[in-house]
């Protein structure tokens, strides 16, 4: 007897034998047991997740000679014929090979005739999205109102290509990709029944390589059995799949955490001897970093399916949380770019070197006192010009950075490899006699761009010498002029829309108790006569006697209160920029790191 592949031999013959897809099976079982059957079912999902299998089991349930139920007998002639693919009342159609409208019409010619032997005539159309638009049109009427003895079972991997008119006529079930845990459990059961020895790590490799498809997992298992001469071992499966040994991935992450580039490149060289899939290796590295980060946050959540939970926990204790996040982000971005590299190995190496290049060296811990630190001289970068050792004082490292601007580094430091990290401190952090960094002159990348410290807020407004007490003094009507109208406006107590309109008004003239204003026509969209009355009432309440107020639309000849505020804000912004740009220590930082000042992030504190 010829050998039957595992994917066909272990294809489920009933809903009880199905692995996963419980959300679909529950709906179908309840519908069958309660006789609430629809005339058209649509099963969607990626390859190998059970679409056609569920459709065939459903056909058995509908046509079993023992009656319609969720548990077909499997022994009657109808069940056997469906299982063996020779039932005359189950018409299986591959839509990919029968896309023409003539094929669809030929298929539907016999719809009106009763089934030959079974209870229902069932049309199982696989890859239904491949039908042409004319074929769908020919199918629509029959699909919506088929004869009572006809059922349609449709399957597709691409439901987006189906017309909405078809989708609306079917009960749609979306089958999910199977997680590796389910696949591994099923593979273990199959291999035990097949009397094939296996190693559990090898099954995890197969389960993850299957990408959620049970059929792919069984096919890969068949291949692994042949590759391993009747057994499934981890080494054989890794060699067959071209995947890297997880031990190498652990060694890589350990070498990166030790900032040892020579060791990193040596491990990659050792990996290349086995012709690995470096993109797959990057996926393994991402998975490991994720497990390390999870262990740092929730130690009890470490997955021990691979038997390496202890080693993951050890790495979680060595790598800081910030480093784990940095490594993950670099690897994730590298996954996108590795296809653009000259070859996968070089791309993989560059991703690891980026982790080393962007990983900060010195880290500040607020619990460490300045006197606890010891000085150390940092060597210049190889190939650079000779320079004196650079030292930094703990006070300088601890001084809060200004929250008014951002410096973006154009490249790595030219004279030293020392940078800062936020959560811990290494033993060779350096104190020195350098002056503390100024709190109002040094940009911080993480600081809000809308704040400036006291140095900038102390800058006086150009041309303004009035104190707060002088501004608060009440104005008499005789003292009111176009130049001090803004002072009176601040004391009128106007709010909302009325304040907005008044701030764009210029006092054009005052004659006795008659006040004439010009409203900037560019801000007059919501102005009406009621606003003139409200302004008059506010002025009368302030002065204590009746006034006549007129507001006309036009172009102010002078400066409105709103214009004055904009002018002062621009002057303060200009002074803030000058104060930042002329700070000598900031200029030294920019020169040292070849950085650029982000002017858009500078803003005075009183804005």
604 closest CA partner among 398, 401, 402 = 402
Dihedral over Cα of 333, 338, 341, 345: its sign: positive
Tens-place pLDDT, residues 80-110: 999 888 899 898 888 877 777 887 887 788 8
* CA 376 – CA 528 distance, rounded (Å): 73
Query: Which pLDDT score is estimated for 385?
Result: 43
Tens-place pLDDT, residues 509-536: 888 889 999 999 888 887 888 888 889 8
* CA 296 – CA 255 distance, rounded (Å): 19
Tens-place pLDDT, residues 153-205: 999 998 888 989 889 889 999 999 988 888 999 999 999 999 999 998 889 88
531 closest CA partner among 564, 505, 565 = 505
Tell me the average pLDDT across 356-360. 84
R_g of the chain, CA atoms, integer Å = 38
| 3-state SS, residue 548 | strand
* CA 509 – CA 481 distance, rounded (Å): 8
Q: b/e per residue, 60-71, with b = 16+ CB within 10 A?
A: bbbbbeeebebe
Tens-place pLDDT, residues 126-146: 888 888 888 888 888 888 888
Q: What percent of the chain has pLDDT over 70?
A: 80
Are 45 and 51 a contacting pair, CB within 8 Å? Answer: yes
Quote the tokens at residue 355. 């982790």
Q: What domains, with CATH codes, occur in the chain? A: 6-174 (3.40.50.300), 180-241 (1.10.8.60), 246-358 (1.20.272.10), 483-557 (3.30.300.150)
Tell me the average pLDDT across 437-445. 36
394 closest CA partner among 419, 371, 420 = 371
Sequence-separated (6 or more) residues with CB below 8 Å from residue 386: 380
**386 pLDDT higher than 80:** no
* CA 347 – CA 353 distance, rounded (Å): 10
Chain-wide mean pLDDT for the chain? 79
Are 174 and 158 a contacting pair, CB within 8 Å? Answer: no
Q: What is the DSSP string of 151-191?
A: EEEEEES-GGGS-HHHHTTSEEEEPPPPPHHHHHHHHHHHH
Q: b/e per residue, 437-476, with b = 16+ CB within 10 A?
A: bbebbbbeeebeeebbbebbeebeeeeeeeeeeeeeeeee
- Numbers of helices and strands, H then E, in the chain: 25, 12
* CA 373 – CA 427 distance, rounded (Å): 7
Are 585 and 435 a contacting pair, CB within 8 Å? Answer: yes
Residues facing 44 on adjacent strands? 156, 174
Global pTM value: 0.53
The enclosing H or E element of 253 equals helix 246-257
**462 pLDDT higher than 60:** no
* CA 298 – CA 85 distance, rounded (Å): 51
Tell me the average pLDDT across 459-472. 42
Strands of 50-89 (E only): list them. Answer: none
Centre a 10 Å sphere on the Cβ of residue 34 and count the other Cβ atoms it contains. Answer: 9
Tell me the average pLDDT across 343-371. 76
Tell me the average pLDDT across 531-542. 89
Query: Which pLDDT score is estimated for 265?
Result: 93
> Exposed, middle or buried, 369 (CB in 10 Å: 0-12/13-18/19+)?
exposed
Residues facing 126 on adjacent strands? 94
**124 pLDDT higher than 80:** yes
Centre a 10 Å sphere on the Cβ of residue 340 and count the other Cβ atoms it contains. Answer: 7
Tell me the average pLDDT across 592-596. 83
Are 18 and 25 a contacting pair, CB within 8 Å? Answer: yes
Query: Which pLDDT score is estimated for 361?
Result: 62
Tell me the average pLDDT across 561-588. 88
């Amino acid at each position: 007897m010829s050998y039957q592949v595992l994917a066909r031999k272990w294809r489920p013959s009933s809903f009880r034998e199905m692995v996963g897809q419980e959300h679909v099976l529950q709906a179908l079982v309840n519908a069958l047991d309660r006789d609430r059957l629809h005339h058209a079912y649509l099963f969607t999902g990626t390859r190998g997740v059970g679409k056609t299998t569920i459709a065939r089991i459903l056909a058995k349930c509908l046509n079993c000679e023992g009656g319609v139920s969720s548990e077909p007998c499997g022994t009657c002639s109808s069940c056997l014929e469906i299982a063996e693919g020779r039932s005359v009342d189950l018409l299986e159609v591959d839509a990919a090979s029968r896309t023409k409208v003539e094929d669809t019409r030929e298929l539907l010619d016999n719809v009106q005739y009763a089934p030959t032997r079974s209870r229902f005539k069932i049309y199982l159309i696989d890859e239904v999205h491949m039908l042409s638009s004319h074929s769908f049109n020919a199918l629509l009427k029959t699909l919506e109102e088929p004869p009572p003895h006809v059922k349609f079972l449709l399957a597709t991997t691409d439901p987006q290509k189906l017309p909405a008119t078809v989708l609306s006529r079917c009960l749609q079930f979306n089958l999910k990709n199977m997680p590796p845990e389910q696949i591994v459990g099923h593979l273990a059961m199959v291999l035990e029944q097949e009397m094939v020895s296996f190693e559990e790590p090898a099954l995890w490799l197969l389960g993850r390589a299957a990408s959620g498809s049970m059929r792919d997992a069984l096919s890969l298992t068949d291949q692994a059995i042949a590759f391993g001469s009747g057994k499934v071992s981890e080494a054989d499966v890794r060699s067959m799949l071209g995947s890297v040994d997880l031990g190498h991935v652990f060694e890589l992450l350990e070498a990166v955490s030790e900032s040892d580039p020579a060791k990193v490149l040596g491990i990659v060289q050792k990996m290349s001897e086995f012709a690995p899939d470096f993109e797959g290796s990057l996926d393994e590295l991402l998975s490991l970093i994720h497990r390390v980060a999870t262990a740092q946050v929730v130690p009890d959540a470490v997955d021990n399916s691979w038997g390496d939970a202890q080693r993951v926990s050890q790495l979680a204790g060595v790598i800081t949380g910030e480093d784990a996040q940095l490594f993950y982000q670099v690897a994730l971005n590298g996954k996108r770019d590795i296809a653009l590299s000259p070859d996968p190995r070089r791309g993989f190496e560059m991703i690891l070197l980026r982790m080393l290049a962007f990983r900060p060296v010195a880290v500040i811990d607020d619990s460490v006192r300045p006197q606890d630190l010891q000085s150390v001289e940092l060597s210049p970068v190889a190939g650079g010009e000779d320079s004196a050792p650079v030292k930094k004082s703990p006070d300088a490292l601890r001084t809060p950075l200004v929250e008014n601007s951002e410096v973006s580094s154009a490249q790595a430091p030219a004279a030293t490899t020392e940078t800062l990290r936020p959560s811990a401190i290494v033993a060779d952090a350096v104190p020195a006699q350098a002056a503390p960094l100024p709190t109002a002159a040094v940009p911080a990348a993480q600081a809000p761009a809308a704040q400036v410290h006291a140095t900038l807020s102390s800058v006086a407004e150009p041309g303004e010498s009035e104190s707060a007490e002088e501004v608060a003094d009440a104005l008499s009507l005789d003292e009111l002029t176009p130049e001090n109208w803004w002072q009176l406006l601040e004391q009128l107590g106007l709010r909302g829309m009325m304040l907005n309109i008044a701030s764009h008004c210029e006092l054009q003239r005052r004659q006795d108790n008659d006040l004439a204003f010009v409203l900037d026509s560019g801000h007059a969209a919501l102005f009406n006569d009621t606003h003139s009355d409200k302004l008059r009432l506010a002025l009368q309440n302030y002065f204590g006697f009746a006034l006549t107020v007129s507001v006309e639309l036009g172009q102010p000849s002078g400066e409105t209160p709103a214009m004055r505020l904009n002018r002062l804000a621009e002057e303060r912004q200009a002074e803030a920029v000058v104060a930042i740009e002329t700070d000598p220590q900031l200029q030294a930082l920019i020169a040292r790191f070849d950085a650029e000042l982000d002017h858009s992030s500078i803003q005075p504190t009183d804005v």
